[in-house]
Each structure stands twice: as structure tokens, then as C-alpha cells.
Chains A and B, each alone.
Chain A
Amino acid sequence: MAEEKIIVLPGDKLDGPNLEVRGLGRNYATYKLGDEVYAALPGVLEVTEEKKIYIPLENVYIPKPGDIVIGIVVNVGLSYWTIDINAPYNAVLTAQEFLNRPFNPASESLSLYLVEGDYVIGKISSFDRFRSPFITLKGSEKFGKIVKGKVIEIKPSRIPRVIGKKRSMINMLMEESGCDITVGVNGRIHINCDNPHIEDIVTLAIKKIEAEAHTSGLTDRVRTFLKDKLSNS
């Protein structure tokens, strides 16, 4: 399967009937003029004999229901927290969602539980661009306040590479390092290792993935990189 990769820029034509848009939805990354489809963002176009795949290299994270995100508390309200999710819209985490019980703002203060600067992992439960996105903490024992480990931030457009095809990259990262890694699709990644030094090495490995996202043989190179650094430590 011959594969060619080229960089495309806003205004470049992405013709061909079998165009697939990865990462963001088609509407966020391309536009139509007549019958032709054009790129709206800098991206990579992978051309094979069967199809063309367009993957944006820069984009703004737009939340959608079901996304796992890592947020930062930016405001403590009376009955909800405002959460920065690295998106154009701040998200809402309600007291009831966090505490999983009825909450009376008259007798309790939310700052007992989460304050500005705290990290939370959760899932977008609803968002339609007309109202703020809401975060739910149901669905995984990982959801909730982050109390340990490290959170790093990369371009949201590189997140699919950190996960890899069929989770190949993320599984490799976890196996080689022995750490627990949670990827927020909003560009934030939680790394939780027994040893803070290993957290730094995993950080470097993820930064390498971000920089070389679309080179071939990346998984193997990152594996070698990790092995090398871990054996020297």
C-alpha cells in the first residue's frame, strides 16, 4: 500500500471521493465551495490508493458528549465549579455530580472539596454550543479529583497519536514505564507513576510524540527512547 504524506494548508483543495477527516469533525476542519472540499486548518494529508486521510495539525479543542477531559477548576461557585477544559467554553461541574448526593449551598461550601487550581478528570455529558458543556464523573473509577502524579499539556491535535492505532502507543507507554496514564482528548494527559523521575521520562516521550507525530515508525522509536532513558535512570 503506497502511502504519501503531504502538508496541506487553509485553502488547499482536498479532492477525491474517499476523503476521510480524522480528529475533529469534517465541519470543523474543512469547508465546501461548490462540490469541492478545502482544508481550513494546517494538516497532514495521507494519500493511499484507496483513500485520502486529512488530519489537522493545529486545532481548537471543541468538546463533544463522551469526551474524556482533564479540567482545571477556575471558579468555585455556590452550587457548581467552573472548569477550564482548554476549549473555547468553560465547563460546569455541579456539586451534586461531584458529591453524588443532594447538596445545600446554605449549609456547605464547595471550597471544602475542590478549589481553584485543582485538576479533575471527567467526561463531557452534554454540550450543544448554545449552553456550557457539563462534566459527569460517572463511568470510571479514574474520574474525580487528581491527587497524585503529573499533568502535562500538548496540542489537542496530537492526542490521537499519543493514543495510537488501537491504543498501540498508549499501551506501549504504560507497559514500558509501568505508569498509569490517562489521556484527556482536550490535550491534557495525567501521568501517575510510583517514581517522579519516571514521570519526567514519560513526559519527554510524550513531547517527542507531539513533535514527530506523523513520522513513520514512531511507536518503535518512542519505545527505544523510553527503554534507553529508563535503563539509564
Chain B
Amino acid sequence: MKYGEKPQLIKEDGTRLDGRRPEEPRPIHMEVGVLENADGSALVSFGKTRVLAAVYGPREPIQKYMVLPDRAILRVRYHMAPFSTGERKSPAPSRREIELSKVIREALEPVVMTELYPRTMIDLFIEVLQADGGTRTTGVTAASLALADAGIAMRDLVSGVAIGKVNGKLVVDIDEVEDMYGEADMPVAMATRLGKVVLLQLNGVLSKEEFVKAMDMARKTLEAISEMQRKTLLEKYSKVLQS
């Protein structure tokens, strides 16, 4: 149910509104260990979308009944800052934020080795500082960096990106305008080394062939994003090897 004047999202020469090629993500920037208090933290931006993630724990939960005897409980909050959007966003949690907190938590459950920390809680707080499309996938990418930074055992990093369909064409890493006027938005997150898809949603309509192609585009992009995450962590630790 899109409304308003629809811009031409794919130009004559096949490039997108902001000049990108269909399979080209926005400029990606990653930093780890950006917060003093948190046990682990990361700041990740995809173009203008910028997300901060922080990890606390594993620690004893304040509510003593919130424990499992054989593993840690993950507690995830995806939240958008009031100034992150065009119109001010109310800071109260929306239904959208509640759903996204759940899908992000479920994306991290397969990689975090929660069985090592029974009776504890691992808190993961994700704040969207600026929203320009792809906030949940940027959030999950930042979250996995923050978990590694916190020294919480993980089977793999998690990387996320949204594939979209705009003007009938599949494109990688859609921004807000492409999401608003496009035909489909498919956020995907993977633990690429394990070859596992850990987050997948589709808002929009795709044919079977388009879906298969979109998943393949997602995998290729996520392998590259995973390498960027590794590079970010390697840079942080290279210091301990060379003075």
C-alpha cells in the first residue's frame, strides 16, 4: 500500500537513485569497543543508518526467577532513538520494536554458546541512532561484534543485510527510499562460516525464482560483510601483537 509520487528507483543506466549498482551495498563502517561501561560494544553504519549495540553480562538477573538451569537467557532490546527518524519517534516501545527485538534475539541464539553460562542473563541493547533502511540487519551485525568484544563464546559472527525489489529489479542493501517505494524488503542474517541463515523475513511479494536469486545475492553480500567484521576485530587486536 505505497502512496505518494513514486520516484524512479532504477535509472536508465541501471544504477540506483544514489548511484549504486544493484549488488552494491552502501558504504559500511564498523567500530568495536566504543563504550566504556559495557562489557562489549560496537557501532555500525550502513550509509546513513547508524546503530549502536552494547552487551552486559553474563550476569545474575535482577529477577531471580528469570533463569534457566542449563543455559543463559538472552535478553534483547531493539530500540529506536527519538531523533533517529524524520518525524520524532515516541520512545515508548512500538509493536514493530517488540517484534524486531524477538527476531534479532532468535538470530543470535544459534551462535551464542549460552550453555556455558547457566543461570545467567546476557543483555544486549541495540539503539538505532539514525534510521535510513536496514536497521534490524545493521543492528544484528553490530550485536555480534559487541558479543565478540565482550568475550562471550560464539560459534560464528552474524552478519545482516536487506535485499529489496525495486522497479522490478533485485537490489542489495535497500535504503529508506527504496524500502518505501519498492516492491519488497527481505532482511537476511547469516552465520556465514556455519552456512546458516538465522534471520529471514519478507515484506513484499516475490516469485519463487526471485526468492532463490535474492537468497543468493544475500549470501554473497553477507560473506563480504562477515569479512569486514573480522577485519574490524583483527585491527583491534593487532595491537596486542605489536607494540
Question: Does A touch B (CB under 8 Å) in the complex?
Answer: yes
User: Which residues from chain A sit less than 8 Å from chain B, CB to CB?
Assistant: 5, 7, 9-12, 27-29, 31, 33, 38, 40-42, 44, 56-60, 62, 88-90, 129-130, 155, 157, 211-215, 218, 221
User: Which residues from chain B sit less than 8 Å from chain A, CB to CB?
Assistant: 39-40, 57-60, 69, 72, 111, 113, 116-120, 148-157, 191, 193-194, 230, 233-234, 237-243
Q: Is the interface of B mostly helix, strand, loop or mixed?
A: loop
Q: Let me know if A11 and B119 touch, CB within 8 A.
A: no
Q: Let me know if B239 and A211 touch, CB within 8 A.
A: yes
**In the assembled complex, how far is the CB of residue A12 from the closest CB belonging to chain B, in whole angstroms?**
8
Which among B194, B237, B238, B240 has the highest number of chain A CB atoms within 10 Å?
Answer: B240
Q: Let me know if A211 and B240 touch, CB within 8 A.
A: yes
The distance in angstroms between the C-alpha atoms of A59 and B155, with both chains bound, is 14
**In the assembled complex, how far is the CB of residue A153 from the closest CB belonging to chain B, in whole angstroms?**
12
Of A31, A42, A56, A62, the contact of B113 (CB 8 Å cutoff): A31
Of A10, A41, A56, A130, the contact of B156 (CB 8 Å cutoff): A10
The distance in angstroms between the C-alpha atoms of A33 and B72, with both chains bound, is 21
**In the assembled complex, how far is the CB of residue B8 from the closest CB belonging to chain A, in whole angstroms?**
41
The verdict on A60 contacting B156 (CB below 8 Å), with A11-B194, A90-B60, A213-B240 known, is no
Q: Let me know if A9 and B118 touch, CB within 8 A.
A: no
The verdict on A212 contacting B243 (CB below 8 Å), with A9-B234, A11-B155, A40-B154 known, is yes
Report B-chain residues with C-beta under 8 Å of the C-beta of A28. 116, 153
Report A-chain residues with C-beta under 8 Å of the C-beta of B39. 60
Q: Let me know if A42 and B237 touch, CB within 8 A.
A: yes
**In the assembled complex, how far is the CB of residue A70 from the closest CB belonging to chain B, in whole angstroms?**
18
Task: List 7 A-B residue pairs with CB atoms under 8 Å apart, sorted by A's residue number.
Answer: A9-B148, A11-B154, A41-B151, A41-B154, A44-B241, A56-B151, A59-B151
